[in-house]
């Protein structure tokens, strides 16, 4: 090891163990666990994963009670709905609502009568208020749960679910929607081809054993060229319920996302039920929405599986606040002004000695594939990526062409200085 080798600056074990925070931690988890965390952090520094100056913070993060815990992150990737970083960030109003609901709360209690009340009534009212006609809503724990319950309750075990081959998608981490629907006991009846499915294909498959037709928006990829599929309105004339999974949670048309399906349009065109996510483009907590025909929604609500898939009070509180917000963070980040982003990037680059370069953001989270969000990023050396991730808060950027790109699109503007300090800290540990 040479005199200039940065590993010479890795703190000694005795100095680290003398830190007040590690001494305090040893009283709770034991000296042996603290020493193990210190050794693991030192090993990460020796292998170059983190900077020597980050060893103490890394050891603290590895201790039981903090290891694997959910920590706030500065998302400098330019990906608005980042699945690995928790998808949609909640608005301050939604966060406040979660805190208020954290104790005893009126989840199923009517304070006027002193008796049990309907669960999550305010959320359901807020959803119904933005839906067309007499459409009703049900809230479950995620989008996959919404589709699972819809197929289970509408089609029933042993009956056929008609679905286009071009919509048999994988939603991530190896989970596939056809497997999900089959787990409900339904028999899948595949029609059409990968790129084209005609109305006649659906009509030829519908029969006495048909429980429903399912339309799935392939939101995490796009097929161009010789493609085609019938409109929802055409499918409703085949005499069976039509369940439309729009995925991203867009409740109404958005001119900025002309190809992204929305719940209002699908319902107006005759969909029996629409299933969607409560986070992603809607910008709320993870949840699954079932929207549509009042009788079918009530059938789903009374199904035994609904009890296992229902959401807790914190989700209900956050979702209600999100629905009543004028603008949520996801929408603000997605529509951020490129000139404003450039000005913020200029300030950061000057402070940390980086270079401003063009960097287009994306919606992410399986929504609006192909939509480009014009923006800018600050390029710094790629070897800063690891130390920045090890900071507190961690900063997550993108390594492209040998540079680490820090895109401020999804960083709250009042956190720009925090991000700059993190970069300065790893540049001069």
16-25, 114-123, 128-137: segment of lowest average pLDDT? 16-25
Residue with tokens 């929305």: 262
Same domain, 84 and 99: no
Q: Tokens in use for 194? A: 């990968």
User: How confident is the prediction for the chain on average, in pLDDT?
Assistant: 90
Q: How far apart are CA 129 and CA 183, in angstroms?
A: 33
Q: How far is CA 361 from the centre of its chain?
A: 16
Outline where DSSP puts E strands in 111-207: 115-116, 136-140, 160-164, 170-172, 175-176, 187-191
Residue pLDDT, tens place only, 315-373: 999 999 999 998 999 999 999 999 999 999 999 999 999 999 999 999 988 777 788 99
DSSP-derived secondary structure letter, 390: T
- Cβ proximity of 127 and 289 under 8 Å: yes
Burial bucket for residue 382 (CB in 10 Å: 0-12, 13-18, 19+): middle
Residues 13 and 101 in one domain: no
How far is 249 from 322, CA to CA, in rounded Å? 12
DSSP conformational letter for 279: S
Q: Between 414 and 65, whose confidence is greater?
A: 414
Q: Residue 276: inside a domain, yes or no?
A: yes
Q: In this structure, are 159 and 275 located in the same domain?
A: yes
HSE toward the beta carbon, residue 48, CA cutoff 13 A? 4
Nearest to 354 by CA among 416, 405, 425: 405
Q: Is 427 helix (H, G, I), strand (E, B) or coil?
A: helix
Residue 47 lies in a domain: yes
Q: Which of 301, 326, 351 marks a domain boundary?
A: 326
pLDDT at site 65: 61
Residues 28 and 162 in one domain: no
CB 81 within 8 A of CB 88: yes
- Which residue, of 283, 311, 326, is where some domain finishes? 326
- The whole domain housing 377 covers 74-88+331-427
Q: Are residues 96 and 83 in the same domain?
A: no
What CATH number is given to the structural domain containing 203?
Answer: 3.40.640.10
Indicate whether 69 belongs to any domain: no
Within a domain: residue 68?
A: no
Burial of residue 239, with CB atoms counted within 10 A of its CB: 0-12 exposed, 13-18 middle, 19 or more buried: exposed
Distance, C-alpha 177 to centroid of its chain: 18
Specify if 387 maps to a domain: yes
User: Looking at the structure, do residues 215 and 350 belong to the same domain, yes or no?
Assistant: no
Q: Is 167 domain-assigned?
A: yes
pLDDT tier at 231, thresholds 50, 70, 90? very high
The answer to whether residue 249 scores a pLDDT higher than 90 is no
3-state secondary structure 337-377: CHHHHHHHHHHHHHHHCCEEEECCEECECCECCCCCECCEE
Section 222-228 average pLDDT: 76
Instruction: State pLDDT tens for residues 144-190.
Output: 899 999 999 998 888 999 999 988 887 766 778 888 888 888 888 99
Nearest C-alpha neighbor of 140 from the set 252, 245, 269: 245
- What DSSP element (H or E) covers 396? strand 395-396
User: In this prediction, what percent of the chain has a pLDDT beyond 90?
Assistant: 65
Interatomic CA distance for residues 88 and 241, integer angstroms = 31
Helix (H) or strand (E) holding 301: helix 294-302
48 and 180 in a single domain? The answer is no
* Residues 285 and 408 both lie in one domain: no
Question: Does one domain contain both 162 and 79?
Answer: no
My answer on whether 308 and 266 are in the same domain is yes
Residue 66 clears pLDDT 60, i.e. is over it:
no
Q: Would 201 be classed as within a structural domain?
A: yes
Question: What domain count does the chain have?
Answer: 3
Q: Is the pLDDT of residue 309 over 90?
A: yes
**What CATH number has the domain bearing residue 371?**
3.90.1150.180
pLDDT confidence of residue 57? 87
Same domain, 378 and 317: no
Of 326, 341, 356, which marks where a domain is finished?
Answer: 326
Length of the chain: 429
Least confident among 45-59, 243-257, 271-285: 45-59
244/54 Cα distance (integer angstroms): 49
- What percent of the chain clears pLDDT 70, i.e. is strictly above it? 95
Q: Is the pLDDT of residue 220 over 80?
A: no
Q: Is residue 1 part of a domain?
A: no
- The yes-or-no verdict on residue 67 having pLDDT over 50 is no
Judge if 225 and 105 occupy the same domain. Answer: yes
- Please tell me the distance from the alpha carbon of residue 154 to that of residue 292, in angstroms, as a whole number: 13
């Amino acid at each position: 090891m040479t005199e200039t080798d940065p590993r010479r600056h890795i703190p000694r074990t005795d100095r680290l163990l003398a830190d007040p925070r590690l001494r305090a931690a040893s009283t709770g988890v034991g000296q042996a666990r603290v020493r193990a965390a210190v050794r693991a952090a030192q090993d990460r520094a020796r292998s170059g994963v983190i900077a020597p100056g980050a060893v103490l913070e890394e050891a603290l993060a590895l201790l039981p009670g903090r290891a694997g815990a959910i920590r706030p992150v500065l998302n400098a990737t330019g990906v608005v709905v980042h699945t690995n970083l928790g998808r949609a960030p909640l608005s301050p109003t939604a966060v406040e609502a979660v805190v208020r609901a954290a104790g005893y709360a009126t989840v199923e209690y009517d304070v006027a009568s002193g008796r049990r009340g309907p669960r999550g009534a305010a959320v359901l009212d807020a959803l119904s208020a933005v839906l067309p006609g007499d459409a009703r809503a049900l809230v479950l724990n995620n989008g996959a749960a919404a589709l699972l319950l819809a197929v289970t309750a509408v089609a029933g075990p042993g009956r056929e679910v008609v679905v286009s081959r071009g919509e048999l998608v994988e939603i991530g981490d190896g989970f596939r929607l056809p497997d999900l629907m089959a787990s409900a006991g339904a028999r899948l009846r595949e029609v059409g081809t990968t790129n084209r499915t005609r109305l006649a294909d659906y009509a030829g498959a519908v029969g006495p054993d048909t429980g429903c037709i399912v339309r799935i928006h392939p939101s995490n990829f796009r097929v161009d060229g010789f493609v085609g599929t019938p409109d929802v309105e055409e499918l409703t004339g085949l005499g069976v319920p039509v369940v439309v999974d729009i995925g991203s949670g867009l409740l109404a048309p958005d001119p900025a996302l002309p190809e992204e399906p929305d719940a209002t349009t699908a319902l107006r065109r005759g969909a029996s039920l629409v299933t969607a996510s409560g986070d992603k483009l809607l910008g709320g907590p993870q949840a699954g929405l079932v929207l549509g025909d009042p009788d079918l929604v009530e059938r789903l609500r009374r199904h035994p599986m609904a009890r296992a898939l229902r959401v807790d009070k914190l989700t209900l509180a956050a979702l209600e606040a999100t629905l009543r917000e004028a603008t949520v963070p996801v929408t603000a980040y997605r529509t951020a002004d490129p000139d404003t982003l450039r000005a913020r990037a200029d300030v950061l680059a000057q402070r940390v000695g980086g270079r401003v370069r063009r960097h287009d953001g994306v919606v992410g989270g399986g929504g609006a594939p192909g939509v480009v969000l014009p923006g800018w990023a600050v390029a710094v050396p790629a070897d800063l990526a690891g130390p920045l991730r090890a900071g507190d808060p961690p900063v997550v950027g993108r390594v492209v062409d040998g540079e680490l790109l820090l895109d401020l699109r999804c960083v709250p503007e009042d956190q720009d200085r925090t991000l700059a300090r993190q970069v300065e800290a790893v540049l001069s540990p």
